[in-house]
Structure 1
Amino acid sequence: MGEGESPLYLRDPAAWRKQLAEGNRRQARKRVASEVILHDETGRLLLVDPSYKPYWDIPGGMAEANEPPALAAVRELREELRLDLSLGTLLCVDWVAPHGPWDDLLMFVFDGGTLPASQAASLYPADEELREVRWCTYQQAEELLRGDVWRRTRAALEVLAGGGPLYLQEGRPVTGS
């Protein structure tokens, strides 16, 4: 832009929008997913056994296009467990490296609170994506979850015990770059 020349968005709004669209097309697309840490009244953690992968997981799932992470978490709980609840605080955001056929993603982990005993006992898989739900001690969770998922879960549990949200990379806290 030359001296005295107005910015493109003022000179030619259509060209400016085209420039923005081209920039948007070239930028990285991050997959986004959300998990929810849920406890029962005895302090056990809810795990789910997805039908589409060979390991246990924390309840949650992938965000749809342009869906905020918190809304994705609430939607996934409703679809997979018929569970309607308001989320608590954000516990951590974990950058997950590319793996298998998948590109990297950002995993948001929220506090889902403690479910009353009657509600906790009545949870069951509500669609074909889950085979089983199970309330687990932390030791059982560590044994059932894949290593990176357990690291992320443990970090989220530590935030619940006291502290602020964490930024993680593959389940490990990052304090600077």
Structure 2
Amino acid sequence: MVSSAEPLFERDPEAWHAHLAEGNATQARKRVSADALIRDRAGRVLLVDPRYKPGWDTPGGMAEANEPPDAAVRREIREELGLTIHVGPVLVVDWVSPHGPWDDLLAFVFDGGEIGAEQMLEVRFRDDEISAYEFCTPEQAGERLRPHIWRRLVAALEALESRRARYLRDGLAP
């Protein structure tokens, strides 16, 4: 049956807006993190040692409400290390299942490019979140990173080499 009635969005724009707002209020929300794969000219990867959680990590952090992931990683690296980086293409999107007190999460890893020794001289810890940073070989990174972060980093390195982004679930290919 075909109705000749005008659609709600044309007939009553305010009711249509209220309908969309109700959907927005009841749909799932996702936490989002954004990290960068930053390398030196020798191909080593930049790791940071956060004070607020165990183990080393890749630089980046959590997106704020309504903040695009690429803007979040730029902001986090500027806030934590004082560096301004170019954010290249996304290398990995990793869906992280609920764990502990946390709901699920979408973790993005972007290509943060190569930076030279002269740019590393600009590093300034801008807040108390990071206690150290170091460029590491992949082998060294494997020893320092928690297993799920290590799997994500390996996938990012593979994506960089193949020029094909990877989708993961809990650090593993589905």
Name the TM-score, length of structure 2 as normaliser: 0.94
Distance 2:59 2:89 in 1: 16
1:104 Cα deviation (Å)?
Answer: 0.7
Q: Which amino acid aligns with 1:102?
A: W
> Aligned AA for 2:76?
E
Cα RMSD between the aligned structures? Answer: 1.5
Equivalent positions of 1:1-177 (< 5 A) are 3-120=3-120, 122-174=122-174
**In 2, are the aligned partners of 1:123 and 1:133 still within 8 Å (CA)?**
no
Which is worse superposed, 11-20 or 74-83? 11-20
Letter in 1 for 2:20: L
Query: Identity over aligned residues, as a percent?
Result: 54
Inter-partner Cα distance in structure 2 for 1:51 and 1:44: 22
Which AA in structure 1 matches 2:15? Answer: A
* 8 Å contact kept, 1:125–1:133: no
Cα displacement (A) at 1:119: 2.1
| Structure 1 moving runs of 4+ over 4 Å | none
**Please, what TM-score do these two structures have when normalized by structure 1?**
0.93
Runs of 5+ unmatched residues, structure 2:
none
**Structure 1 portions without partners, runs of 5+:** none
Structure 2 residue identity aligned to 1:38 = I
Distance in 2, Cα, partners of 1:26 & 1:144: 40
SS in structure 2 of the partner of residue 64 of structure 1: coil
